[in-house]
Structure 1
Amino acid sequence: MLAACDTGAEEEAQETVAAADESEAIDLTGTLLRDFAGERIPAVTVIDPDGARLDLRDVDGPVLMNLWATWCRPCVVEMPLLDELAADLEGEVRVLTVSADLKGAEVVQPFFDRYELPNLPRWMDSGNDLANAFDGGPLLPLTVLYDAEGREVWRITGAYDWASASAREEVREALSVEAGDAPDTNPSVS
């Protein structure tokens, strides 16, 4: 899997969100993959801007976890869509967003203030332990759906239209299949 970030780059590379052309259209056609279905949620601890810690393996219930960064233009486009999804699916699935920004709260807090995302948590992994758990650094954004037992159901690489009805259907259908409520009629779709 290819990485979208060069962590060895000059420090300025982490600050490109302000320079991004916000009028530029982003293709929201991420790829749904089931290649890692059944794998456990990574044993990674993330923090929020106030210093609270969360061990991802301690999260109860289904989780839709998004790995993103403020300098990643597709991530920036996707965040308001995830915020809307989190509001719509509250009580069905927990949406966790985890920033891979090296500067942590210094850039994440202003990002959330600017975009007003009340339904998304501000978790951070400035050490990139989560990216490393995904084989050294995934293409960003990366969104992974985990069932109530912390097992991967599917993942979407690249930006995705989380505001669409089909996104909600995919999440709900996957969770109902995992719960045994419906048969999986097409398990090899990717």
Structure 2
Amino acid sequence: MTEKKPLRLPSAKLVAIAAVAGIVCGAGVMVFRHIGSEGQVQGAAVVDAGLCEGAAKRITAIEPLLKGHIAAMSASDRPRVIPLSFKGPEDAAMTQADLKGKTVLLNLWATWCVPCREEMPALNALEKDNGGDDFEVVTINIDTGGDEKPKSFMSEYGIDSLKLYRDSSMGVFNVLKKEGLAFGLPATLLIDDNGCLLASMNGPAAWDSEDAKALVTAAKAK
């Protein structure tokens, strides 16, 4: 059987598609209330000067690395913890606090989002090469309905290193939109081991590039 491969579109087209996807997605999302996958209201970001003191230092260290294939990523000017609720592997209820202790590249995606589909193999490769006790690529699928579509996509395209995280309520997207961090899909956050925001971007990127790997290495450094 011929192995399916994601579309390979020129970068300019990917950016344009991502922008359109953002408009479409943004138009269909209500942000007046933010409900997590288990029905709980998701709270506003928490600024903790003590908790995120180290984040400010890391942001200074990673800023020079936001270039090349990840030049669209912007360093956070306000490191903070953003409470998020979603479902993890085996349909387990989770919050961002469950990821504390490891640096996280958190990515929101959907099966209907073309640039999301395009970058998934690169995210998979980044997790395969760099994932471990101190770092994880957490890709949260926000398709409505059941798990069949994202599971089928991951199987068909050989996404074998990423776990299936889900939020069919789109509550995570709503929270990030209110925070000014998600205008469409894909949307990606770099979060330190205390759960503090280091950087963010909208649109796809070559996450398997040397630029991305250098960023992850610097973000993990103590």
Q: What's the TM-score bracket when you normalise by the shorter of the two chains? A: 0.7 to 0.9
Q: Which runs of 4+ in 1 moved over 6 A?
A: none
- Calculate the TM-score normalised by the size of structure 2: 0.64
- C-alpha distance in structure 1 between counterparts of 2:193 and 2:210, whole Å: 22
Please list, as runs of the form range in 1=range in 2, the aligned pairs for 1:17-166 lying within 5 A after superposition: 31-35=72-76, 37-48=78-89, 50-60=90-100, 61-91=102-132, 92-136=134-178, 138-166=183-211
Q: Deviations over 1:5-48 (max 9, x none)?
A: 1437xxxxxxxxxxxxxxxxxxx766111245412132313244
Residues 65 and 36 of structure 1, relative CA distance in 2, 3 Å threshold: farther
Q: CA deviation at 1:128?
A: 0.6
- C-alpha distance in structure 2 between counterparts of 1:160 and 1:37, whole Å: 23
- Calculate the TM-score normalised by the size of structure 1: 0.74
Check conservation: 1:100, 1:125, Cα contact below 8 A: yes
Q: CA deviation at 1:154?
A: 0.5
Check conservation: 2:85, 2:93, Cα contact below 8 A: no
Residues 163 and 76 of structure 1, relative CA distance in 2, 3 Å threshold: same
Please list every run of 5 or more consecutive structure 2 residues that lacks an aligned counterpart in the other structure. Answer: 1-21, 30-68
Number of residues of Structure 1 aligned to a counterpart in Structure 2: 157
More strand by share: 1
Q: CA deviation at 1:3?
A: 4.8
Residues 175 and 123 of structure 1, relative CA distance in 2, 3 Å threshold: same
Please list every run of 5 or more consecutive structure 1 residues that lacks an aligned counterpart in the other structure. Answer: 9-27, 180-190
- C-alpha distance in structure 1 between counterparts of 2:23 and 2:219, whole Å: 27
More helix by share: 2
The secondary structure found in structure 1 opposite 2:106 is: strand
Give the % identical residues: 29
Q: Deviations over 1:143-185 (max 9, x none)?
A: 1111010001101211000111111011212332xx2xxxxxx
